Amino acid sequence: MAHIVSAAWKCALSTYDIDAAVRLPTSPFCNFEHDYIVSPSVGGRTKAVVSTIVTPAADMENEFLPALVIAVRGSASKVDHMVNANSRARTAFEYDGRSIDAHSGFMNSAEALEDVFAERIRLYVQRRRSNAHIIFTGHSAGGAVATLLFLRRLLGSGSAPDARLSCITFGAPPVVSQALNFEELAPRRPLGLCLNIINEFDVVSRADRPYILSLVNMMRSLYGQPAIPDDVDITRDADDSPRSGAANAQQTSGSENIWPLPPPMYHHVGSRVLLLTRLDDDGRVCLKACEVPKDVFQQLLFCRVEVHRRACYSDRMQRLEKRELSA
């Protein structure tokens, strides 16, 4: 699994330099073949995307390869950040008799890319004929859009119903209004991986409106300033009853060392895999990974920007590829 996660990261990283994307990533474990490139639109609705065919290296086997990897670029301009700020919820999917909302800006981007990549997927499946595997990936906002493209394909009734689908994101923000059980989403179609790779303390991985407002109010509380109220009721309890994020953040926890966080507005899809660095017994920095349940993750206070940077994810993916992962 480490090699396919590393390959997905290399594809995600290639989207930040479209001109260089034709040079293709390299790996001792797999080969990369150029498939298609989409340039970003001036208005920001269409994000840059690079699709790559990844195959195992000679004499190597990988249960997840070959695959068509569709990588969406994260924020790279002021216009991109304006799209990200359009965080209002809008109806995106129907699942199990329920309406599922999603982040408006990211959903608009996913819709803009849908037709192009429906055709790329159709051509790839036609070429493979059987055992086709499609992987959606991206870093930051690109991971959010990749998640929604993955869900549209998974829950839709479009072409290639027999293709195996995976989604591997890096430092992506949450995007859907309900916590979805990945295994139950499409029980009759082949599924691969659904992983949210997150560096410990990465603020973007928790970034929705109630959480950011809670961080602001936490800082204001340190200086004796009143909390900024949330004038839009957008958060929900586990029982789906509406609740004010500002009011929840002002609850007293009984401990001065605990800042109570509001219920999230949006959730990730699939497993959250946290990458942590710790000192071992010899004082060396080692990389660890652990899967974090939803109810635990939404209690974590992440507020660092540095660990969200591509360089930080690249360093940890290189260590993962070399199997420098401690138990």
83-101 confidence digits (pLDDT tens): 778 889 999 888 778 889 9
Q: Over 50: is that where the pLDDT of 237 sits?
A: no
CA distance 279 to 223: 34
pLDDT higher for 152 or 233? 152
| 5-20 pLDDT per residue, tens | 999 999 999 999 877 6
Q: In angstroms, what is the C-alpha Rg of the chain?
A: 20
Please tell me the pTM assigned to this model: 0.89
Instruction: Return the pLDDT at 285.
Output: 86
pLDDT, position 236: 43
**How much is the average pLDDT of 136-146?**
97
Coil, strand or helix: which one is 112? helix
Residue whose token pair is 């037709």: 115
Above 70 in pLDDT, residue 115?
yes
Q: Which long-range contacts (CB under 8 A, 24 or more apart) does 15-22 make?
A: 15/48, 15/49, 15/50, 15/71, 15/72, 15/73, 15/74, 15/138, 15/139, 15/142, 16/73, 16/74, 16/76, 16/310, 18/48, 18/50, 21/50
Average pLDDT over residues 154-163: 73
CA distances to 11, 25, 37, 54, 86 from 44, rounded to whole Å, are: 21, 26, 16, 28, 12
Residues written for the chain: 327
The more confident residue out of 33 and 247 is 33
Position 234 scores a pLDDT of 43
**Over residues 201-229, mean pLDDT:** 93
Delineate the domains of the chain, giving CATH numbers in brackets. 2-203 (3.40.50.1820), 209-263 (no CATH)
Of the pLDDT bands very low, low, confident and very high (cuts 50, 70, 90), residue 144 is: very high
pLDDT band at 42 (very low <50, low <70, confident <90, very high): confident
What sign does the dihedral 226-232-237-238 (CA atoms) show? negative
The type of residue at 112 is: A
As a whole-number percent, the residues of the chain with pLDDT over 90 amount to 57
Beta-strand pair 98-103/89-95: antiparallel
Q: What is the pLDDT of residue 188?
A: 66
Neighbouring CB atoms inside 10 A of 40's CB total: 19
Give dist(CA 74, CA 250) in Å, integer.
33
Instruction: Work out the percent of the chain whose per-residue pLDDT is above 70.
Output: 89
pLDDT of residue 120: 92
Provide the b/e sequence for 241-258 (b: ≥16 CB within 10 Å).
eebbbbebbbeeeeeeee
For 50-82, what is each residue's pLDDT tens digit? 999 999 998 888 899 999 999 999 988 778 788
pLDDT band at 159 (very low <50, low <70, confident <90, very high): low
Q: Identify which of 94, 75, 2 has the alpha carbon closest to the alpha carbon of residue 320.
A: 2
Name, in order, each residue with C-beta under 8 angstroms of 63's C-beta and a sequence gap of 6 or more.
none
